[in-house]
Structure 1
Amino acid sequence: MALGTACSAERPPHTAGSGTSASFPAAPTAVRPPTANAVFDYQLGGAYPPPETVRAVSRDRTAKPAPGRYNICYVNAFQAQPDDTGSWEDDHPELLLRDEHGDPVIDEGWDEPLLDISTGAKRAALMQIVGPWIDGCAKAGYDAVEPDNLDSYERSDGRLAPGHAAAFARLLARRAHQRHLAVAQKNTTDLLPQRGRIGFDFAVVEECTRYKECTDFAAAYANRVFVIEYRKQDFTAACRAWGKKLSLTLRDREVRPAGAKGSLRRYC
């Protein structure tokens, strides 16, 4: 996902995973998960002072946390930023997923090359890069981390499987918990049944109303779910159905900072 944007706006609907009514897994004692139904601001396109009513904020890992809020650190853990493609090719070409011609496999929605998480050795090598990003979130004072593009396997032309994503997510969660950070599951109901084994503590979900996933995530995470909707009709429906239980926000798809042309931000 490119900085300042959200996950693929046209991701296909997922089939709800089984076992979502299981009890919410307890987080490690040194980790502080968010509270349910906290007013939430999604600030990936640029940091700005949140309104007084906002209690939780998600920002890119390069930004500082918002004082006095529950802060979630965004890390693009499963794909490369478009403007970082050259450095990955120069420094770590073996860690980019390749097609049959040797070219990087690209998430065409956001022009992001997929990282190769297909083997234990490559996942370990990627942790040498992504792990310090998580460390930086902790050092900056964040409370939690959201590793994005957990569902990159859906865009891999069959070169990656859900098991690869789960295995890498377990490494990310372990590193985050070692740094006393809670960990969010970002999208994809496919991996909900494995949430406890992976180590997820809550969820950050895009368009769960549009794709009819809110019930599954709410049940899995005891309403500790931050929802971002990008269409007004979905946000209205979400507020009507979930406004007293989940953290809901309406954003423009580019998640522009407050005051920028085209910026859209509402809460319920």
Structure 2
Amino acid sequence: MRNWGKHVLVVAAALGASAVPATAAPSALPQIELPPPGGQFDYRIGGPYTPDASVKVVSRDRTAAPAPGKYSVCYINAMQTQPDPKGPDGKPVPDPELVGTTAWYFRYHNDVVLKDAEGNPVMDGQWGEAILDIRTAAKRKALPDAQKPWIDGCKSSGYEAIEPDNLDSYDRSGGAFEFARNRDYTVEFDKCAKTAGLAVAQKNVNSEYGDTGPSTGLSFAIAEECAVHDECSEYRTPYGNRYYEVEYTDNPRSAFATECAGNGKTRRSSCATAT
């Protein structure tokens, strides 16, 4: 997970050896659409702009409109709250679109906010986000009810998929729960999204999921800094050419260039276009 203020260095479709076929959904569920294999990816959750004509896949925040004519992925902070916007003086500012969700969760869904022994919210100190409580089956059932309007809103706005963030919130829970609970909640979230007719991305967490993401219902991956950390192959194995790579300007370009050069002629062409 990265701060919206970070600048994207290059974003490209990661081209693997084979495509991952769509899993047939039960007849009661609407058909989902998967992102185009190897499609050039544009990552802009901090604010929309008109993508290049060569771009095929775009990820934007749920409060923004999808990109016309592109496969559009809707960003939702699924297992932590989103920081509330503040003015230059550090005080809260009006937020009619509910870009920030921390105060909203505290007020309307406080039961799904993780608390410490003193009853205080457990926070991700790096990003100023409260951890959501997914320790019990009851809470994992209650949380989708809170998030369902956003999921349905993504669909009605014209998005084809959802990018749920912080699938590894266990790592910031102070030991309150383990990754198994994140995985369990991902299953519940995926059911809710599939009911709305949306595909769901695996956002990072390659070491936790290994090659088992598709068995949870996840359809493709969005991988931040996998070239920098030499992890891209861990997404290529389960998702073939439906993992989409994001690198940032505060890291050297050399890692991305190496990753592009190491994956064959087609991949090099895609990377050259993206840079």
CA distance in 1, matches of 2:270, 2:184: 29
| Residue of structure 2 in register with 1:203 after alignment | 221
Counterpart secondary structure, 2:221: strand
Aligned 8 A contact 1:116 1:122 in 2: yes
Equivalent position to 2:261, from 223, 234, 240: 240
1:10-89 aligned within 5 A: 24=20, 26-28=22-24, 30-83=31-84, 84-89=101-106
**RMSD (Å) for aligned C-alpha atoms:** 2.5
Cα separation, partners in 2 of 1:92 and 1:179, compared to 1, 3 Å: closer
The 8 Å contact of residues 150 and 188 in structure 1, kept in 2 or not, is answered as yes
Distance 1:159 1:85 in 2: 19
Question: Which residue does the alignment assign to 1:110?
Answer: 127
What SS is found at the alignment partner of 2:210? helix
- CA 1:199–1:153: 2 relative to 1, 3 Å: same
SS of the residue 1:72 aligns to? strand
Q: Which structure has the bigger radius of gyration?
A: 2
Q: Where does residue 90 of structure 2 map in the other structure?
A: none
Aligned counterpart in structure 2 of residue 90 of structure 1, from 65, 88, 107? 107
Structure 2 residue identity aligned to 1:228:
V
Normalised TM-score (structure 1): 0.81
Gaps of 5+ in 2: 7-16, 26-30, 85-100
- Once the two structures are TM-superposed, the CA of residue 171 in structure 1 deviates from its matched residue by 1.0
Identity, in percent, stands at 41
Q: Secondary structure at the match of 1:50?
A: coil
Match of residue 98 from structure 2: none
Give 1:136's match in structure 2, choosing from 153, 156, 161. 153
Give the aligned partner of residue 221 of structure 1.
Answer: 239
Shift of 1:66: 0.6
Gaps of 5+ in 1: 7-20, 250-265
Conserved 8 A contact 1:184-1:203: yes
The code of the aligned residue for 1:114 comes to I
CA contact (8 A) 1:5 1:44 kept: no
Q: Deviations over 1:201-232 (max 9, x none)?
A: 00011011122211010111012001101122
- Equivalent position amino acid for 1:106 in 2: M
Residues 4, 40 of structure 1: alpha-carbon distance in 2 compared, 3 angstrom cutoff? same
8 Å CA contact 1:38–1:246 kept in 2: the answer is: no
Which has the larger displacement, 170-179 or 189-198? 189-198
TM-score (structure 2 length as normaliser)? 0.79
